[in-house]
């Protein structure tokens, strides 16, 4: 089959980072199957198999060290399973692997993949089922043949059903003792009538065996496969060290004849997140005896689906504010009273927590015994923090000053500058000007490019964002002056402080791991960075620092100011709630008020969390379109700050 007759559309090449040398091609076939081809061909071959001639004998010739990977995402999951067969979607995922018309031997695909140095697996979510495998590239063609035939015409024979049912049962037995799985199932039991998330998506003997007629179940799994496992509902990703054309040829040969399905994916457009759970969800408190040795308080809010907001991620913003551990945070407040160990907040990644109908925002507080005894006060503090967020006056401004490709000397100079200006920075902006209690100045190296950041968290009701930005800039312009005002003795003493700090080494295993791991992630492998810095620092003079700052200010000043601006007009209501003391039942009443407000009010949550770009539209210095702005930028190549590794340019 020629590929030209089968490919109906080539899509725009996806955005990728400059450090990514892989090639991508996105396309749609005539049967509606969408695919992403990823060519690794320009990555250097691993040398492990070339070290000695002996290793190229017959036992290793099957494995040339190049791995290929393939995944099929089918747009169906437990949301589509019939009420009377809970766990059916998961069961079908298992049955698919039990042989195809062309390759009828059970588990033939699995054993082939294992023998070819790879692995395969699958998982079922609420709206998606994903199958994937990885194997030595020389076996990719046959692997795809075996795999795609499971998609095209799986046997799913009656006598395989009992074996796979026990597999599903044993998975259930392994997971049902996990607290988060049990929590999901409690919440699922509170789903409203007619909403698909009320299902028991794991499945077990109780839902797939007891009182279930095997021939009906057999008919049901084939119907489920026919209805949903169509090429028009599939996305394939294929990655190997082959050219894009070779990958396309493989894709077309193995996937162009996958049949389409008649049914479309489940329509959730009429379902509303505000009605997704019954009243009991908002009213009741569940006291659960945990399996793990842990004491925690969980509060869950139902939000609109966050994937509609994936570009702006408002939930991440709220989770940062609530999960923040610094001064003035909920966590700091509770820890100070020895009531909590940690606070975790956000929308979790599982499809029960976030799907096309709703997203669940969860605040989880790990309590001490004492915290459990003060549950009322813990709840009160949490609701106060949450209310502040709804009517949030918090403004966060980060000015990013880009310096350019970094080297060891610049890194050390900026370390010194940070230490020199830190105290005047706090004294000026926090103590004297009272711009905010949370502020900081830090250097940052990203992809070898050095910058420093100044961040201030303030309240819009106290100081407007524009004003705070001006004050940051005023301080920044005085940094060189602050250095020049130092006596030589002061300079040397600060330099010694920095050096002895670095000589202390890592204070915990965590710190050591993170430091080394970041060298691996950035591919700099500069594991003796600190020793090298100490060497450079010992020879740095005040003039070096001064020349660097002056030169940067004159010739190289680049600033990006990112401002998240809070609500200027704080309502009296939220202030009252935040300061009022209340009992557990009062607070739960508040929770219900919130819910009533969301249900009845003309202003749904989707509007409350809308992202709005501020600034004058004709002002060239403010960014109205982030993507257009980013496209226009000159991008530095990836630099390596490790002097032992030759610089790319």
Q: How far is the CB of 121 from Zn ion (least distance, A)?
A: 9
Q: Which is nearer to Zn ion, 108 or 171 (CB)?
A: 171
The alpha carbon dihedral of 163, 166, 168, 170 has a sign of negative
Q: Which is nearer to Zn ion, 71 or 268 (CB)?
A: 71
CA distance linking residue 584 with residue 592, whole number of Å: 13
Q: How far is the CB of 113 from Zn ion (least distance, A)?
A: 17
CB 565 within 8 A of CB 460: yes
Q: How far is the CB of 112 from Zn ion (least distance, A)?
A: 20
Instruction: Give the three-state DSSP class for 31.
Output: coil
DSSP 58: T
CA distance linking residue 70 with residue 250, whole number of Å: 11
Q: How far is the CB of 214 from Zn ion (least distance, A)?
A: 20
Q: Which is nearer to Zn ion, 171 or 257 (CB)?
A: 171
Q: How far is the CB of 97 from Zn ion (least distance, A)?
A: 10
Q: Distances from the Cα of 101 to the Cαs of 95, 97, 113, 236, 393, in angstroms?
A: 13, 12, 19, 21, 63
For 505-545, what is the HEC assignment? CCCCHHHHHHHHHHHHHCCCCCCCHHHHHHHHHHCCCHHHH
Q: Which is nearer to Zn ion, 78 or 406 (CB)?
A: 78
CB 26 within 8 A of CB 16: no
Q: Which is nearer to Zn ion, 171 or 377 (CB)?
A: 171
Q: How far is the CB of 131 from Zn ion (least distance, A)?
A: 11
Q: How far is the CB of 174 from Zn ion (least distance, A)?
A: 10
The binding site for Zn ion (CB under 5 A) comprises 171
Q: Distances from the Cα of 408 to the Cαs of 286, 449, 534, 643, in angstroms?
A: 56, 12, 10, 8
Q: Distances from the Cα of 550 to the Cαs of 330, 539, 555, 621, 635, in angstroms?
A: 41, 20, 8, 24, 24
Q: Which is nearer to Zn ion, 204 or 359 (CB)?
A: 204
Which residue is nearest to Zn ion, using beta carbons? 171
> How many distinct helices (H) and strands (E) make up the chain?
24, 14
Q: How far is the CB of 167 from Zn ion (least distance, A)?
A: 7
Q: Which is nearer to Zn ion, 50 or 123 (CB)?
A: 123
Q: Which among 222, 78, 253, 243 has a CA at the least distance from the CA of 157? A: 222
Q: Which is nearer to Zn ion, 171 or 227 (CB)?
A: 171
Tell me the longest C-alpha to C-alpha distance in the chain: 90
505 conformational bin, left if phi > 0, alpha if psi -120 to 50, beta if neither:
left
């Amino acid at each position: 089959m020629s590929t030209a007759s089968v490919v109906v559309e080539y899509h725009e090449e996806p955005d990728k980072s400059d450090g990514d040398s892989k090639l991508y091609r996105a396309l749609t076939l005539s049967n509606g199957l969408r695919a992403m081809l990823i060519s690794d061909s320009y990555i250097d071959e691993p040398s492990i198999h070339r070290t000695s001639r002996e290793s190229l004998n017959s036992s290793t010739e099957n494995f040339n060290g190049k791995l290929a990977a393939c995944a099929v995402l089918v747009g169906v999951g437990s949301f589509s399973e019939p009420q009377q067969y809970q766990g059916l979607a998961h069961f079908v995922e298992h049955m698919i692997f039990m042989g195809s018309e062309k390759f009828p031997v059970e588990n033939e695909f699995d054993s082939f993949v294992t023998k070819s140095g790879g692995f395969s697996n699958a998982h079922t979510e609420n709206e998606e089922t994903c199958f994937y495998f990885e194997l030595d590239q020389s076996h990719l063609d046959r692997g795809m043949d075996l795999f795609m035939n499971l998609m095209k015409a799986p046997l799913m024979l009656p006598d395989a059903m009992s074996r796979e049912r026990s597999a599903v049962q044993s998975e259930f037995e392994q997971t049902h003792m996990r607290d988060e799985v049990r929590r999901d199932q409690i919440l699922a039991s509170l789903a409203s009538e007619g909403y698909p998330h009320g299902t028991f998506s794991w499945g077990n003997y109780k839902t797939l065996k007891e009182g279930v007629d095997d021939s009906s179940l057999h008919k049901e799994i084939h119907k489920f496969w026919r209805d949903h496992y169509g090429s028009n509902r599939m996305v394939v990703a294929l990655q190997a060290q082959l050219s894009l054309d070779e990958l396309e040829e493989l894709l077309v040969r193995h996937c162009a004849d996958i049949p389409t399905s008649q049914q479309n994916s489940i329509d959730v457009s009429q379902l509303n997140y505000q009605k997704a759970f019954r009243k009991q969800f908002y009213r009741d408190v569940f006291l659960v005896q945990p399996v793990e040795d842990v004491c925690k308080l969980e509060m869950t809010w139902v939000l609109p689906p966050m994937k509609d907001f994936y570009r702006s991620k408002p939930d991440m913003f709220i989770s940062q504010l609530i999960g923040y551990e610094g001064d003035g945070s909920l966590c700091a407040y509770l820890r100070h009273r020895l009531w909590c160990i940690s606070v975790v907040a956000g929308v979790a990644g599982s499809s029960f927590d976030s799907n096309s109908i709703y997203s669940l925002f969860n605040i989880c507080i790990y309590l001490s015994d004492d915290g459990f005894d003060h549950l009322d006060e813990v709840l009160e503090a949490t609701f106060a923090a949450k209310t502040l967020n709804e009517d949030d006056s918090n403004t966060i401004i980060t000015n990013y000053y880009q310096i350019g490709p970094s080297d060891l000397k610049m890194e050390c100079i900026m370390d010194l500058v940070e230490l020199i200006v830190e105290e005047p920075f706090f004294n000026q902006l926090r103590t004297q000007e009272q711009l905010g209690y949370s502020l900081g100045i830090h250097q940052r190296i990203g992809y070898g490019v050095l910058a420093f950041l100044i961040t201030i968290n303030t309240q819009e009701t106290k100081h407007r964002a524009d004003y705070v930005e001006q004050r940051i800039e005023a301080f920044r312009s005085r940094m060189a002056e602050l250095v020049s005002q130092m006596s030589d003795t002061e300079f040397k003493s600060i330099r010694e402080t920095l050096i002895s700090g670095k000589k202390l080494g890592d204070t915990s295993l965590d710190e050591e791991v993170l430091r080394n791991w970041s060298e691996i992630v950035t591919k700099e492998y500069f594991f003796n960075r600190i020793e090298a810095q100490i060497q450079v620092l010992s020879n740095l003079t005040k003039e070096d620092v001064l020349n660097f700052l002056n030169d940067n200010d004159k010739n190289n000043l680049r600033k990006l100011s990112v401002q998240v601006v809070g609500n200027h007009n704080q309502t009296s209501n939220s202030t009252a709630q935040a300061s009022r003391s209340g009992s557990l039942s009062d607070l739960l009443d508040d929770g219900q008020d919130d819910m009533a407000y969301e249900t009845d009010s003309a202003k749904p949550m989707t509007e409350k969390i809308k992202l709005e770009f501020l600034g004058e539209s004709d002002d060239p210095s403010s960014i109205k379109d982030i993507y257009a702005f980013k496209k226009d930028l000159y991008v530095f190549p990836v630099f390596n700050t490790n002097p032992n590794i030759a610089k790319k340019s």
